[in-house]
Amino acid sequence: MVETENEKPYHLALKYLEYRPRSCAEIRDYLKKKMFSDKMIQQAIRRLESAGLIDDREFARLWVENRCRFKPKGHFALTVELKKKGIKEEIIDSVIRTVDEEKNAWSAVQTKIIRWQQLSDEALKIKVLYFLRSRGFTFKTCMEIYDRLRDDAAIR
């Protein structure tokens, strides 16, 4: 089968999608770097959307689900990541609304508890606040997790 010039962006985008789901903006940026015209890029994106191969809402949902499972982050960090992926504000808001930030924060500190067992209360507070804030959790959530860790007899 001979590939026409108009089919090249579509086929390159398919190959780009083999590694992981992508947002529409990621595909657009990828094809722009390959020097395709805006018209050819738009045709490829429409074709991918109509085939159900790209969907920003589903991409955002999967991204957040993956983050919650493997590298828990707070609402702020998730929002920043999704914006960088070109996801629209209303999609981000609807997906982020489903995330239990306190549950994610607790999950994030689970890998650190053993290392933090012997710390004084003040040192524990600093570690928890620094670690969770760097992952985009709110100060309120960080303090709730610190209180929970401090009061948990199993780690003290």
67, 83: one domain: yes
The boundaries of the domain holding residue 4 are 1-54
Query: What's the pLDDT at 4?
Result: 75
Q: Do the domain assignments include residue 156?
A: no
Query: What's the pLDDT at 2?
Result: 44
74, 123: one domain: no
Number of domains in the chain: 3
DSSP-derived secondary structure for 76-106: HHHHHHHHHTT--HHHHHHHHTT--HHHHHH
Q: What is the CATH number of the domain that holds 66?
A: 1.10.10
Q: Do the domain assignments include residue 11?
A: yes
23, 63: one domain: no
* CB distance 35 to 66 below 8 Å: no
Instruction: Return per-residue pLDDT of the chain as tens, 156 residues.
Output: 545 777 899 999 999 999 999 999 999 999 999 999 999 999 999 999 999 999 999 999 999 999 999 999 999 999 999 999 999 999 999 999 999 999 999 999 998 988 988 889 899 999 999 999 999 999 999 999 999 998 875 555
Task: Name the pTM for this structure.
Answer: 0.86
Q: Do the domain assignments include residue 65?
A: yes
